[in-house]
């Protein structure tokens, strides 16, 4: 057991996962543990306690995402070390986390020893990424513009509908725009993603987490 005492906050909207995390940390660290099932509970905990480490999921059944929670916590609590413990592994999301200077990233399909490694590392002011996250990070080449794809609101809307298998005619009727306008957006999407067809577009959008 790591004998150095510290305060740790946990945010996850699944009670069973919260309990499992609580039990695991209690067994392996000397820590005061504060559990939250939504962002409101977490903000109260952080505002009323000196939290050293926050472990949070990215997908929350909340009014805001885990990304937004991280942004808010970092803006107001510079000293809190943040570890993302999540199932979300898209390049798009990981790049966002890296840009937020996340302290640790562990996927939920990893052995819990990876989470232990992450906690110990951030306590020593070192960043920690599980092996799978490191593999994904290796693909984040800053010279590749494909990782910085910026879509208009309409393009994002059409991309999501294309992901559902709609044709241009169906999209035209659904959005009350002309078929030519739809086709124009489709061509722009192909260009922005540097792909030749809709199948490749959907595959790449899925990879970057842009089609959800």
Full pLDDT tens readout for the chain, 212 residues? 556 789 999 999 999 999 999 999 999 999 999 999 999 999 999 999 999 999 999 988 876 888 999 999 999 898 999 999 998 887 778 888 988 899 999 999 999 999 999 999 999 999 999 988 887 777 665 444 444 577 888 888 999 999 999 999 999 999 999 999 999 999 989 888 878 899 989 988 887 777 65
The pTM of the full predicted model, rounded to 2 decimals, is: 0.66
Domain at 2-137, CATH from 3.40.50.2300, 3.30.43.10, 3.90.1150.10, 3.40.50.1220: 3.40.50.2300
* CATH level 3 topology of 145-207: Arc Repressor Mutant, subunit A (1.10.10)
The domain spans of the chain are 2-137, 145-207
169-189 burial, b if ≥16 CB within 10 A, otherwise e?
eebbeebeeeeeebeebbeeb
Return the SS3 of 107: strand
């Amino acid at each position: 057991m790591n004998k150095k005492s510290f305060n740790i906050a946990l945010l996850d909207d699944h009670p069973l996962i919260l309990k499992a995390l609580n039990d695991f940390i209690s067994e392996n660290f000397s820590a005061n543990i504060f559990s939250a099932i939504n962002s409101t509970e977490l903000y109260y905990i952080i505002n009323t306690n000196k939290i050293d480490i926050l472990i949070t999921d990215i997908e929350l059944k909340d009014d805001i995402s885990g990304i937004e929670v991280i942004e808010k916590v970092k803006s107001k609590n510079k000293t809190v070390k943040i570890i993302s413990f999540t199932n979300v592994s898209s390049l798009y999301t990981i790049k966002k986390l890296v840009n937020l200077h996340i302290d640790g990233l562990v996927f939920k399909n990893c052995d819990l020893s990876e989470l232990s490694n992450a906690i110990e590392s951030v306590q020593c002011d070192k960043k920690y990424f599980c092996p799978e996250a490191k593999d994904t990070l290796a693909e984040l080449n800053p010279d590749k513009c494909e990782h910085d794809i910026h879509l208009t609101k309409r393009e994002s809307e059409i991309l999501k509908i294309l992901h559902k298998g709609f044709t241009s005619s169906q999209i035209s009727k659904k959005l009350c725009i002309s078929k030519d306008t739809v086709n124009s957006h489709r061509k722009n999407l192909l260009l922005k993603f540097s792909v030749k067809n809709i199948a490749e577009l959907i595959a790449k959008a899925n990879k970057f987490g842009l089609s959800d």
